[in-house]
């Protein structure tokens, strides 16, 4: 089975996608996937060609047929999401629970398969990757992440890839759980700020519950050296692996604009630090496993 590393952070904007992009470049023969389906960014940082796309169908769109509806009010009474107003279903509030559909005594509620987004298969000079784009405001982001991860795994295995690298979503909820499930190890990218640390700790708690190995990376380490030291002490106390610090560099934004990896700026300290971090991550999560 192919090894999979997911890159998460808890807090958004710590540099998950920029680092995933660089790791993808550094790892020969890697396959990648963007599991942040409601804010996909990896594809923007890679010059690529989409070779295949598929609709992501999940859940249903519900509607009430006014010709059949007797306005008995059973659906309104049972809908916990207050999504039925004046016998019309508000799609922003509807959580697709099926209750109105099964509760209606005169079968006036219709449901049709819902297209929640699109999943793209792409190729690039760096390697092949999969990314999902959930329709804005749609449900089922967790299910879509699972589907993206599974498609990527199948693609990676079929192509004989060396490793699958997943760019994860922010937070600690359903999409993060879906991204991290069945991975070999997780990289948590944090930053030396009070919010970066608070969010990292919640992400660590989640991944430890799932019994998956963790490597911690500090990005933009020069914001606050004291807090970097505090993070390193926490990593030690928790028995996690510390993969290194990466300093603030405007080259990360430049890399985004050039659609390349920051490691492309070969003589820069950013490129060196990212390389060192990736070697450390591989040593910890892949070489030492089990």
In the complex with another protein, the residue whose CB is nearer, 25 or 138, is 138
Candidates 69, 97, 118, 280; binder of another protein (CB under 8 A) is 97
Cβ pair 213, 185 in contact under 8 A: yes
User: Which of these, 167, 170, 136, lies nearest to 152 by C-alpha position?
Assistant: 167
CB 252 within 8 A of CB 15: yes
Q: Is 166 left (phi over 0), alpha (psi -120 to 50) or beta?
A: beta
Among 64-72, 98-106, 158-166, 236-244, the segment contacting another protein (CB under 8 A): 98-106
132 binds another protein (CB under 8 A): no
Radius of gyration of the chain (CA): 22
Size of the site for another protein (CB under 8 A): 62
User: Cα separation of 148 and 155, whole Å?
Assistant: 10
Q: State in angstroms the smallest separation of the CB of 142 from another protein.
A: 7
Please identify, among the stretches 75-83, 122-130, 260-268, 280-288, the one whose residues bind another protein according to the rule CB under 8 A: 75-83
- With vertex at residue 244, the alpha carbon angle to CA 203 and CA 171, rounded to the nearest 5 degrees, is 20
- 218, 157, 201: which is closest to 182 by C-alpha? 157
x/- letters, 133..172, toward another protein (CB under 8 A): -x-xxxx-xx--------------------------xxxx
206 binds another protein (CB under 8 A): yes
- Binding track, positions 16-45, relative to another protein; x by CB under 8 A: -x------------------xxxxxx--xx
Nearer to another protein, 233 or 283 (CB): 233
Q: Which helix (H) or strand (E) holds 173?
A: none
Strand duo 213-219 + 185-190: pairing: parallel
> What is residue 284's three-state secondary structure?
helix
Residues lying near another protein in the complex (CB under 8 A) are found at: 10-14, 17, 36-41, 44-45, 59-60, 78, 80-81, 92-93, 95-99, 101-103, 134, 136-139, 141-142, 169-177, 192-195, 198-199, 202, 205-206, 209, 220, 223-224, 227, 253, 256-257
């Amino acid at each position: 089975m192919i090894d999979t590393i997911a890159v998460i952070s808890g807090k958004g904007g710590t540099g998950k996608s920029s680092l995933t992009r660089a790791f993808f470049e550094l790892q020969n023969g890697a396959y990648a996937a963007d599991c942040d389906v409601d804010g996909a960014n990896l594809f923007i940082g890679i010059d690529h060609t989409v070779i295949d796309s598929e609709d992501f169908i999940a859940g249903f769109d519900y509607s009430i047929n006014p010709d059949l509806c007797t306005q008995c009010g059973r659906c309104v009474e049972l809908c916990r999401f207050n999504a039925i107003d004046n016998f019309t279903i508000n799609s922003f509030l509807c959580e697709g629970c099926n209750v109105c559909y099964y509760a209606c005594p005169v079968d006036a509620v219709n449901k049709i398969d819902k297209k929640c987004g699109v999943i793209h298969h792409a190729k690039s000079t760096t390697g092949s990757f999969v990314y999902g784009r959930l329709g804005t405001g749609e449900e089922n982001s967790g299910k879509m992440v699972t589907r993206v991860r599974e498609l990527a795994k199948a693609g990676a295995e079929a192509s004989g890839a060396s490793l699958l690298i997943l760019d994860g979503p922010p937070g600690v909820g359903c999409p993060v759980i879906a991204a991290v499930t069945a991975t070999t190890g997780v990289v948590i990218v944090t930053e030396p700020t009070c919010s970066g640390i608070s969010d990292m700790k919640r992400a660590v708690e989640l991944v430890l519950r799932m019994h998956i190995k963790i490597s911690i990376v500090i990005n933009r380490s020069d914001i606050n050296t004291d807090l970097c030291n505090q993070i390193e002490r926490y990593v030690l106390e928790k028995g996690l692996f510390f993969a290194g610090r990466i300093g603030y560099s405007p080259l990360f934004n430049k890399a985004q604009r050039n659609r390349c990896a920051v490691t492309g700026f070969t003589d820069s300290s950013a490129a060196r630090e990212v390389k060192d971090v990736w070697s450390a991550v591989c040593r910890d999560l892949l070489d030492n496993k089990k």
